[in-house]
């Protein structure tokens, strides 16, 4: 198990490395709720693993009130995890967050099952989760993946992939954009209204041809009676 002092120093150093707004270690200690929440979680997680009843959950509740960040003491966070801004972040009991992950405000690592089993997501190393994104269920997010702000992720995400949208879909692999429609530019999408109008005009033309045929046959029949 990592040395607690080294873990604390890693957590303290991480905002200085990833946030240009950080003005030094004292700024982080006094003004970063993400650092406060993670530091408190480290203590509560040890109590939870030791089987201490009630107290870890109650202390987590107090920390949520003070920081706006809810981390269940049963969750597993790796080294150098950075929660930026942090308000509204929720991490469920069986969530796992790998080393070096960055999580922005409003992110939910939530569950979809009521069973007492693994029901929250697992984030690999160096994953970035954008603001207000929801990662739901016992799914895996690969190392180096990036989840766009406001996305809803309900399926596994491969390593080094960028996903966005509801539900989330792949838009880049290894930093290179992925074309959604390979045979044509993304702006040149087929117009469903145009296709419907073309089909309607085709059917109208066919009906007019049938009417002309019927009227022509009736005209020939009437002339035969005259003769």
Q: Is the dihedral of CA 201, 206, 208, 209 positive or negative?
A: positive
pLDDT of residue 45: 96
> Is residue 224 classed exposed, middle or buried when 0-12, 13-18 and 19+ CB atoms within 10 A define those classes?
exposed
pLDDT at 224: 55
Torsion over CA: 134, 13, 99, 157 (sign) = positive
Mean pLDDT score across all residues of the chain: 88
Report the alpha-carbon distance of residue 67 to residue 35 in Å, rounded. Answer: 10
Average pLDDT over residues 176-205: 70
Q: How far is CA 135 from the centre of its chain?
A: 5
Q: Quick check: 223 pLDDT over 50?
A: no
Distance CA 119, CA 99 (A): 20
Model confidence band, residue 180 (pLDDT cutoffs 50, 70, 90)? low
Confidence of residue 3 (pLDDT cuts 50, 70, 90): confident
Kindly state the average pLDDT of the residues 23-49: 95
Kind plus residue range of the DSSP H or E element containing 35: helix 33-49
Buried b (16+ CB within 10 A) or exposed e, 84-113: bbbeebbbbbbbbbbbbbbbbbbbbbbbee
Q: Is the pLDDT of residue 144 over 70?
A: yes
Give the pLDDT confidence score for residue 37 in this predicted structure: 97
pLDDT, residue 181, reads: 53
pLDDT tens-digit map of 197-216: 788 888 888 888 888 888 77
* The model's pTM: 0.75
Please give the CATH superfamily to which domain 4-177 belongs. Answer: Hexapeptide repeat proteins (2.160.10.10)
Q: Which long-range contacts (CB under 8 A, 24 or more apart) does 186-190 make?
A: none
Question: Cα(179)–Cα(186) distance, rounded to whole angstroms?
Answer: 7
pLDDT, mean of residues 152-178:
92
């Amino acid at each position: 198990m990592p040395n607690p002092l080294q873990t604390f120093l890693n957590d303290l150093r991480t905002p200085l490395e990833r946030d240009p707004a950080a003005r030094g270690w004292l700024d982080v200690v006094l003004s970063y709720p993400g650092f406060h929440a993670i530091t408190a979680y480290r203590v509560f997680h040890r109590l939870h693993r030791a089987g201490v009843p009630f107290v870890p959950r109650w202390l987590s509740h107090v920390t949520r009130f003070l920081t706006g960040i809810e981390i269940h003491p049963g969750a597993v966070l790796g080294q150098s995890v950075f929660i930026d801004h942090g308000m509204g972040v929720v991490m469920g009991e069986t969530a796992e967050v790998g080393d070096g992950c960055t999580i922005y405000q409003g992110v939910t690592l939530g569950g979809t099952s009521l069973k007492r089993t693994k029901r929250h997501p697992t984030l690999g190393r160096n994953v970035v989760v954008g603001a207000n994104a929801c990662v739901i269920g016992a799914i895996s997010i690969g190392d180096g993946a990036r989840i766009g702000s406001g996305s809803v992720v309900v399926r596994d995400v491969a390593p080094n992939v960028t996903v966005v949208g509801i539900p989330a879909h792949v838009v880049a692999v290894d930093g290179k954009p992925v074309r959604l429609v390979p045979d044509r530019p993304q702006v040149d999408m087929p117009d469903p209204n145009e296709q419907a109008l073309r089909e309607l005009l085709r059917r109208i033309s066919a009906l007019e041809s049938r009417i002309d045929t019927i009227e022509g046959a009736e005209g020939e029949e009437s002339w035969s009676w005259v003769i």
